[in-house]
Structure 1
Amino acid sequence: MIDALFLTFIFLVAGVVSVPIATRLGLGSVLGYLLAGVLISPLLSLLQVDITALQHFAELGVVLMLFLVGLELKPQALWAMRARLVGLGGGQVALTALVVTAVCLGFGESWNTGLAIGLILALSSTAIVIQTLSEKGLLKSDGGQSSFAVLLAQDIIVIPMLAFMPLLASPDLSNIVTEVADTAGSHDSTLLHGLSGWQTTAVTLGAIALVIVGGHYLASPIFRYISIANLREMFTATALLFVVSVTVLMSLVGLSPALGTFLAGVVLASSPYRHELESDIAPFKGLLLGLFFMTVGAGIDFQLLFEKFWLIIALSLGLMIVKAIVLLVLGRLFNIRGSNKWLFGLSLAQAGEFGFVLIAFSESNSVLSQATADILLLIVAISMLLTPLLFILYDKKIAPRYVNDSTGQHSSEFPNDKKIIIAGSGRMGSVVDRMLRLANYDATVIDFSVKRLRALERFGVQNYFGDATRPDILHAAGIEEADILIIAIDDPEQVTKLVKHVVEHYPKLHVIARAHDNNHVYDLWSYGCRDIIRETWDSSLRMGRSTFEALGIPTEQAQQMVDTFNHYDKDSMVAVADAHQTGVPSHENQAYIARIKEHLKERDPEVRATMNALRHGKDSQT
């Protein structure tokens, strides 16, 4: 227990100290974690910590990250990426593998060893690339989306790679181990051991079908049941249980857990619990990814690195140059232009974390010698360590050159469509949402009521489960990119809390808030909200107009009378707003009462005359 706590303490201190410094220096959090791992490496060696075993556990962070990425992609969006998945992803792996194989042949390696090395080094780091692109807000750009397509294709291609690697072993070796070594996504034994070809296929397809069907039909009822307890920690535990279950299932059938959880995320992308899942899992993803990056830095074999320093550095840089050239060529063929082309080429130039898995697997299957495997491990680690520097190069030197270029990243980063978030889907929120959708505006609707969500689902209305007053839920819903926030929550205190938060932290966001009564209007006004709708005001005006019509006043004149009163009331509200005291009822606020009396005395005669003229059908100006 003490050893585990002490080890936890070491990693936490290393991350807490290094990452803020690296971020402040513009190096990014990933490089901060990697450097933290390098710094604590001697201490971990002294304590005889098994870095490899720790890294396998930390790779759960990669799995969680792919799950969260899947939550952002609906199946239609994934289908729309099919050309890039096959063309960019498949092309990148094939071309890189061929070039690296040719280089290995030039160094005197056999063709099977060269091909194995080419396949291993063709993969890129999902963890580093997606984390960095997300931090810099570049994941939605054309270059970011192209990079994501390649990474997803690589995760898919890893599966046939694992099956193909043993075939590259030396033909004179009779004892070939076919099980995958302990990895982030596999164990020493799987359910496929001893099965025939058709049985293996059936089990594999059955596991994928279970993830899809379970995610589509079972996840929502389970989360609905858990949410009844109204305990956030139970929802978090259930979310983690879901992800870990998919990970274990994928491992048992020899598939990539990252690919399986990504698929589960895509299935749940339309779930009403999507934002709640994202906000609850995100902290665990961040911590485990940080641990993973630190284990990469700590796992560098410095003795071998110093012995063959220039050779390993040259091979690492050579690999990154080769991959960058291949990616730039593919980017040009697939019409990726401007700064996006360079973002695409530089972001994927490193080797990936799954390279560690394939290297160990190839060594155990007599494809690679131990000496070659050790050098490859260093090349993978060094290239990952250098990747944040490429992003700094992009930020400082390349991106500024394309600021005014219509083919640069900005053309795809900022769509013209307004992003709208509606907090609350009750009496007001549901009407506003329906009105917007009929006008072809898509809004993200968040509500904490399970009963309301179930009722709206029956009518085909898409909503998301979550407490909109929580900052992490707002972040998951995309508050940073939102243009308009409509607050239609029933509880006035919750409305006030949300207004205070968003006005303070997102001053450029247009906030439209629902007010319970006049006192609530003044409270929201004092906190900076300037677009306030009293929940019964418009219906009261409609009722007043109907009353005028029932009294025999023509419809047009009745509407003019209502408009006159509406303008008068708005002017009155603004005129006395500065006399309001938050938390003090209007009837107990003497300054407010005095200001109201003064305003009524000044304006009432004028409005009375206007209303009377309209009542008798005379022209008048308000």
Structure 2
Amino acid sequence: MPFLVTEINPVFSNIVLLSMVIIAAGFIFNLLKQPSIISYILVGILVGPHVFGLITNEALISDFGSLGLVLLLFFLGMELSLDSLIKNWKLALIGTLFQIIFSILAIAAISSIFDWNFNKIIIFGFLISLSSTAVIIKVLESRKEIETKVGQQVIAILLAQDILIVPMMLSINYMGGDKPEMQEIILQAVGSVFIIGILAWIFYKKHIKLPFEKLILRDHELQVFIAFFICFGFSILTAIFHLSAALGAFVAGIIVASSRSTHWVHSSLHAFHIIFVAMFFVSIGLMLDISFFLDNYMRVIILVVTVLVINNIINGVVFKIFKAPLCNSIYAGSLLAQIGEFSFIIGATAHLNGILNNEEYQIIISAITLSLIVSPFWISLIHRLFRKRLSACNF
């Protein structure tokens, strides 16, 4: 009787291979006492098509990464105080607008060196003004600072950035000659009103009751599917309105928190949260063309250091304008200094619209990736440089 031969599913082999490399890297980075974020990105670089080429299904990892970002915002919504978010609305909205304007002005000040036109000044201003929600939340979680005053203020800024991505994208499409349709604008306006309405209702009610709560508490399997439905259901809903799917997940998290159901939801999805957030950072590493980076490493390093310094100053000034203590302003500036993951979308859109050439786009990918890798070190560096002032500060 011939042996039964079965084909190995490439998806399974990719996941197993990736898990093995992440485990090995995790041991090394734990010994070095370095953040897991860095290990995930470096794993993506190593297994990606530009180094060892071990991962053949990049789209699968990217899709997993998108799920990770959605789950990250969902868990953030469960942990964030809606009262605190509303309390910080001036800093979040007006402060973020100041931040974007200052970023564009900073780029305009150096644009003559690189011979950038008006469109590129706006694009690069948008790029450096967006911080990394994923990195900052992981840092705040590791330091147990999400519920601190500065943590809540920084998160409010991040959420405002996520909302302002929509007009940024519309502006880029307009610069590329693709004018937005009225139907899309109306959908986004309706979606924004819908989200504000939900948040206002939760703020007014303080506590809402999910249907069939007693039945849900008795069935763990049902809990998992309901948690998935709430998280990704709201993500799809906001995506239908042409808004960020991550924003929908965040609102879903607030709804769950207001129903006081965070315990079973957290336990049901926590494992998925860890896996898919790791995949998100791996997918960032997969994007980096290591040969291009090595050929242009000095340009990229100088760009990243410049951006970290500029962003740290800009965000520190914004917090100081809103009368935050100097120590909080310095720390918040360091947290928000890196270039965020949504800047990949801004750069890709500008590239597709012909505003950025291929070399500029590759420089952006390299700079964002390196920025995310060095961000935890930058935050630690600022802590050391301002140790005395920060040690006396009540975060």
Q: Is the 8 A contact 2:11 2:57 kept in 1?
A: no
Alignment match, 1:580 = none
Amino acid aligned to 1:335: K
Alignment match, 1:554 = none
Alignment match, 1:317 = 305
Alignment match, 1:307 = 295
Alignment match, 2:213 = 224
Amino acid aligned to 2:98: G
Among residues 141, 146, 165, which one is paired with 2:172 in the alignment? Answer: 165
Q: CA 1:225–1:355 in 2, change beyond 3 Å: closer, same or farther?
A: same
- State the SS of the aligned residue for 1:68: helix
Q: Distance in 2 between matches of 1:336 and 1:76?
A: 18
Q: Is the 8 A contact 1:144 1:343 kept in 2?
A: no
RMSD over aligned CA atoms reads: 3.0
> Is 1:5 matched with 2:12?
yes
Q: Distance in 1 between matches of 2:367 and 2:391?
A: 37
Q: Distance in 2 between matches of 1:86 and 1:315?
A: 27
Q: Is the 8 A contact 2:48 2:55 kept in 1?
A: no
For residues 2-401 of structure 1, the aligned pairs below 5 Å read 2-41=9-48, 46-47=53-54, 49-51=56-58, 54-169=61-176, 176=178, 195=183, 198=186, 201-202=189-190, 205-206=193-194, 220-222=209-211, 224=213, 226-227=215-216, 230-337=218-325, 339-394=327-382, 397-398=384-385, 400-401=387-388
Q: CA 1:226–1:168 in 2, change beyond 3 Å: closer, same or farther?
A: farther
Amino acid aligned to 1:401: K
Q: CA 1:138–1:73 in 2, change beyond 3 Å: closer, same or farther?
A: closer
Offset, 1:85: 0.7
Q: CA 1:44–1:212 in 2, change beyond 3 Å: closer, same or farther?
A: farther
Q: CA 1:350–1:195 in 2, change beyond 3 Å: closer, same or farther?
A: same
Q: Is the 8 A contact 1:327 1:345 kept in 2?
A: yes
Offset, 1:361: 1.5
Q: CA 1:207–1:272 in 2, change beyond 3 Å: closer, same or farther?
A: closer
Q: CA 1:278–1:328 in 2, change beyond 3 Å: closer, same or farther?
A: same
Q: Which of 69-78 and 295-304 deviates more?
A: 69-78
Offset, 1:392: 3.1
Q: CA 1:251–1:49 in 2, change beyond 3 Å: closer, same or farther?
A: farther
Q: Which of 34-43 and 134-143 deviates more?
A: 34-43
Offset, 1:105: 4.0
Q: Distance in 2 between matches of 1:351 and 1:212?
A: 31
Offset, 1:51: 3.0
Q: Deviations over 1:148-169 (max 9, x none)?
A: 1221111111111122112222
Q: Can you give the 5+ residue segments of structure 1 that lack an aligned partner in the other structure?
A: 179-192, 413-622
- State the SS of the aligned residue for 2:183: coil
Q: Distance in 2 between matches of 1:9 and 1:332?
A: 48
Offset, 1:57: 3.0
Q: Distance in 1 between matches of 2:191 and 2:372?
A: 35
> Normalised by the size of structure 2, how large is the TM-score?
0.87
Q: Distance in 1 between matches of 2:152 and 2:188?
A: 33
Offset, 1:223: 5.3
Quick one: higher RCO (CA 8 Å, sep 6+), 1 or 2? Answer: 2
Q: CA 1:130–1:194 in 2, change beyond 3 Å: closer, same or farther?
A: same
Q: CA 1:102–1:168 in 2, change beyond 3 Å: closer, same or farther?
A: farther
Q: As a proportion of its length, which structure holds more strand?
A: 1
- State the SS of the aligned residue for 2:48: helix
Q: Distance in 2 between matches of 1:226 and 1:294?
A: 38
Amino acid aligned to 1:107: F
Offset, 1:379: 1.2
Q: Distance in 1 between matches of 2:211 and 2:312?
A: 45
Q: CA 1:380–1:147 in 2, change beyond 3 Å: closer, same or farther?
A: same
Identical residues among aligned pairs (%): 23
Q: Can you give the 5+ residue segments of structure 2 that lack an aligned partner in the other structure?
A: 1-7
> Normalised by the size of structure 1, how large is the TM-score?
0.57
Q: CA 1:50–1:209 in 2, change beyond 3 Å: closer, same or farther?
A: farther
Q: Distance in 2 between matches of 1:94 and 1:102?
A: 12
Q: CA 1:35–1:196 in 2, change beyond 3 Å: closer, same or farther?
A: closer
Q: Distance in 2 between matches of 1:177 and 1:42?
A: 35
- State the SS of the aligned residue for 2:315: helix
Q: CA 1:85–1:68 in 2, change beyond 3 Å: closer, same or farther?
A: same
Q: Is the 8 A contact 2:188 2:243 kept in 1?
A: no
Offset, 1:39: 2.9
Q: CA 1:54–1:212 in 2, change beyond 3 Å: closer, same or farther?
A: farther
- State the SS of the aligned residue for 2:91: helix
Q: Distance in 2 between matches of 1:274 and 1:231?
A: 15
Q: Which of 381-390 and 327-336 deviates more?
A: 327-336
Q: Is the 8 A contact 1:130 1:139 kept in 2?
A: yes
If you compute each CA radius of gyration, which structure gives the higher value, 1 or 2?
1
Q: CA 1:326–1:6 in 2, change beyond 3 Å: closer, same or farther?
A: same
Offset, 1:104: 2.8
Q: Which of 353-362 and 102-111 deviates more?
A: 102-111
Amino acid aligned to 1:297: G
Q: As a proportion of its length, which structure holds more helix?
A: 2
Q: Distance in 1 between matches of 2:386 and 2:27?
A: 24
Q: Deviations over 1:149-208 (max 9, x none)?
A: 221111111111122112222xxx6xx386xxxxxxxxxxxxxx7727546634664577
Q: Is the 8 A contact 2:190 2:241 kept in 1?
A: no
Q: Is the 8 A contact 2:68 2:277 kept in 1?
A: yes
